[in-house]
Amino acid sequence: MDDDEAELRNPFPSPPSHYTKYTSHNLNLLALLKERVPDTDLAFNQHEILKDQTDVPDWPLTLLEKPRVDWILKEQEPYYDVFGDRWFVKDKIPSLAELGGQQLYPEDPNVDRRPALQTILCSMLVTYSNLTSALLAPPPTASSTAPPEWQQHVEWITVLGQNLMAAANDLRPVQARGNLELMMRRQLELRKDETRAIHTQVKCDTLEARLGELRASAEDLKRTKSAEEPTIETVAAPDEPVPLTQEDLLRWAEEAG
């Protein structure tokens, strides 16, 4: 249980304890040691050389020096070790032959591999057909000690499949480089198009035309609304009644009689 909890707390390996030695005091001692001893490759006693200093460590101060990259690059296959794993300076995809497999295509990447890969593909199709026939054949007798025919076909198909996969993996760097070139070329074309559009003011002309269309449509809508509104007719108010006198009433009675 404790190991599981430790694994959950530390999903990545802890850095080596060597980094705790890189203190300001130790680095100053190293600089002073290199001043007093120009060639630190020779044997010397750092305690005698730094006897006027305090807190001189027991371990060699030369361990604090940066790794000699020139020493690494002098190797035939430069590599370095980190946390127990070995990493090569120049990353190289091992070939199928280096991994212990049976390689059926040329190892030199400059040689055209298409004829060999086409031959491998044809061989795989023929072997698959033979495997189907072998599976339909009657079972061997009890006294037969020879391996079944289908087993040989399966092993050969495995070898052919490994060659196809290895050849495809060898082309991954070429494919990645081609995709990167295509992406960069596309970005360059986009930048050129944007710059050309700015210089020719295509965007400004398009915006002005669009604004003109919006203004015209707004005016048409306004005129349409004004035409659809009902007109309100004004009705004249009736005249106010005139007050009648007694003479008017008598005259009206005579006319009526």
pLDDT value, residue 172: 83
Higher pLDDT, 123 or 145: 123
Residue 187 parent element (H or E): helix 172-200
Place of tokens 């593909």: 121
Question: What pLDDT shows up at residue 186?
Answer: 93
pLDDT at 180: 92
234 pLDDT band, cuts 50/70/90, is: very low
Tens-place pLDDT, residues 84-105: 677 787 777 778 888 888 999 8
Q: Which band of pLDDT confidence, cut at 50, 70 and 90, is reported for residue 238?
A: low
Helix (H, G, I), strand (E, B) or coil at 131: helix
* Domain regions of the chain by residue span: 2-66, 178-222
State the average pLDDT over residues 151-165: 92
* Most confident option among 13-17, 122-126, 137-141, 203-207: 122-126
Structure confidence at residue 235 (pLDDT): 47
Mean pLDDT of 199-219: 78
Three-state DSSP class for 157?
helix
Higher pLDDT, 8 or 170: 170
- pLDDT value at position 251? 73
What mean pLDDT is predicted for residues 110-138?
A: 90
Give the residue-averaged pLDDT of 150-160: 93
Rounded Cα–Cα distance for residues 63 and 46 (Å): 13
Q: Using the 8-state DSSP alphabet, how is residue 75 labeled? A: S
Q: What is the CB neighbour count within 10 angstroms for residue 166?
A: 19
pLDDT for residue 126 is more than 80: yes
User: What pLDDT sits at residue 243?
Assistant: 65
Q: What is the pLDDT of residue 128?
A: 93
Q: Which residues contact 74 (CB under 8 A, 6 or more apart)?
A: none
Mean pLDDT of the chain: 80
